[in-house]
Amino acid sequence: MSDALQYQKQKELFGHPVGLYILFFTEMWERFSYYGMRALLTLYLVQKTTGDNPGLGWLDSESIMLYGWYTMLVYVMSIPGGIIADRYLGQKRAVLYGAIILCLGHGVLAFDAYWAFFTGLSLIVLGVGLLKPNISTMVGGLYKQGDIRRDKGFSIFYIGINLGSLLATFIVGYVGEEINWHYGFGLAGIAMVLGLLVYLYGQRYLEHVGNKPTQAEKEGDISYASLLGKLRSSPLQLGIVILIVFYAIYAGFTYEGIDNWGYTALYIFIALVAGVLMMIYKTLDTKILKDRFLVLLLSFLLVIVFWGAFEQAGGLMSIYTKTKTDRMLFGMEIPATWFQSLNAGFIILFATVVAGYWAKRKLKGKEASSIFKMAIGTMIMGLGFVFMIFAARQYNIEGSSAMYWLVLAYLFHTIGELCSSPVALSFITKLAPVKYASLMMGVYFAATGLGNKVAGIVGEKASEFGEYSVFAGITIFTVLIGVLVIALLKPLKRLTHGAEDNEREILEQEQYELANEDIKSSN
């Protein structure tokens, strides 16, 4: 059956393929399970081993360290997860197997045992690595090339992500923190089973997307092993990779802490990715492609900075909320996990407002490039830690800090995320060379994962320097990085070679069409 007929045969609901809503609910329940686990993780680790709801009794620094490794690996595994789907399984089966592995991981976590805890975390990392990058690809596959509904479809899908996050932090957070940690882990697993059942039920609506690649498609794929092989004829690039590998070995023997060999594996992974990226740059045959590729790599550094600060929410800020915030409201103590729902709630409230602001700004001819929005988003998010500085100062004086500092911090973090995160994904599709687009999306997720690891490293320093110093340092660093990017904006935009120059015309055309529709409906 031709692609055109396959698209034509799709059943629709509210103007979109029914498959979109299948993927919406699958991802909603997957994110419910992930963010429910995220809300509980550090609090469970630091909870004392005695009492009605005992935890593992770890130090704050130890729990934040594990949180950093866990959240990094969840995103870094998107690279092999995407490659496995592209080369062997197809996105549809990869999502299925990822969902099954996630169910097993959350199910194992329901057992109160050390082996179960680490086994469950490992399975969740593998499951998310298979599911996360491939379900997004399937959403795009529901729409044929040039279908104007695609952006709206992704917006609907994004609502599912945040709805799952919002529900999880309330429900799983309360059950785990107030009743039993392992009940909370088990509840997250039940949610993932619901997501798997929805996905299995909806297979008939996903017949033409994410299928196993044909032999011809495999032969046309890029061999990343062959790109690494070309390093032998590139002395400078080979030397850089070898230096990183030697540093990895050095880290294994000299770094303090139980995770020293973890850093060895991380640096070797970075060396391999760096080698592939350098070889991709050499294979690009025009100056425009090479310049855009460089800008894209620089934007990934901004991504690492952004998430390195933002992801304090699940680590340092989570522990701070539990131990140093006065959470009494109308005679009831609010669970610490509930504060993590503020991000998802604010996203649902302000997503269209922020998007509308940038659209109006572009229509007026003012600066609204992706790099500019990412820099502004990083600065706004960083300024949210000013409120955490005030909270830490109040705690040092009074012995506890008020809840409203957290609310204001999460508000600024969310506005910054809305300026930066969706834009970064769009920016990749504009600048990445077409034949490397999937890899660059995987590298984006890996950069997000590295940002999560940076968040863990920074959060660990709070036990040494104190929260006040850490929050102040994050604020200063993120604002300085944002200012630096804005100062370099003109040369960076020149290197994009007009990749975003036609967006104002497209917006004007969309507004014109909407106005005509309003006139027709009123008549």
Tally the domains of the chain: 3
Any bridge partners for residue 329, and if so which?
A: 332
User: C-alpha distances in angstroms, 240 versus 107, 220, 223, 236, 452?
Assistant: 43, 29, 21, 6, 25
Task: State the amino acid at position 415 in one-letter form.
Answer: I
**Residues 81, 189 within the same domain:** yes
Query: Alpha-carbon distance 74 to 90, whole Å?
Result: 20
Of the three residues 221, 241, 261, the one that is the final residue of a domain is: 221
118 and 89 housed in the same domain: yes
Residue 113 sits in the same domain as residue 207: yes
Residues 216 and 230 in one domain: no
Helix residue ranges per DSSP H, 461-502: 462-465, 467-487, 489-495
**Tokens, residue 78:** 């998107």
Q: Which residues of the chain have pLDDT under 70?
A: 1-10, 14, 145-148, 151, 215-224, 438, 501-523
For 154-194, what is each residue's pLDDT tens digit? 778 878 888 998 899 889 989 998 899 999 989 988 999 99
Q: Is residue 6 part of a domain?
A: no
Count the neighbouring beta carbons within 10 Å of the beta carbon of residue 366.
10
Residues 396 and 446 in one domain: yes
For the stretch 195-212, what's the b/e string if a residue is b when 16 or more beta carbons lie within 10 angstroms of its beta carbon? Answer: bbebbeebeebbebbbee
Residue with tokens 């030697």, as numbered in its chain: 246
Q: Same structural domain for residues 314 and 397?
A: yes
Dihedral sign from CA coordinates of 44, 47, 48, 54 = negative
Contact 238, 231 (CB under 8 A): yes
Q: Is residue 518 part of a domain?
A: no
In a domain, residue 82? The reply is: yes
Q: Are residues 407 and 270 in the same domain?
A: no
What percentage of the chain's residues is helix, strand, coil (to nearest 5)? 80, 0, 15
Question: What does the pLDDT read at residue 67?
Answer: 87
* Last residue in a domain, options 188, 203, 221: 221
The parent domain of residue 330 ranges over: 284-513
| Residues in CB range of 466: below 8 A, 6 or more apart | 392
**Cβ count near 134 (within 10 Å):** 26
Q: Which of 258, 379, 357 is nearest to 309 (CA)?
A: 379
Question: What is the predicted pLDDT for the residue at 147?
Answer: 67
pTM assigned to the model: 0.82
One domain for residues 323 and 271: no
d(CA 85, CA 297): 24
Q: List the structure tokens of 411.
A: 């508000």
496 and 485 together in one domain: yes
Look at residue 289 and tell me if it is in a domain.
Answer: yes
In this structure, the answer to whether residues 71 and 164 fall within a common structural domain is yes
Q: Give 327-348 pLDDT, tens digit per residue.
A: 988 888 898 888 888 998 998 8
CATH of the domain at 205: 1.20.1250.20
**Region of 134 on the Ramachandran plot (φ > 0 left; ψ -120 to 50 alpha; else beta):** alpha
Same domain, yes or no: 237 and 96:
no
Chosen domain end from 206, 221, 236: 221
Same domain, 117 and 166: yes
Look at residue 416 and tell me if it is in a domain: yes
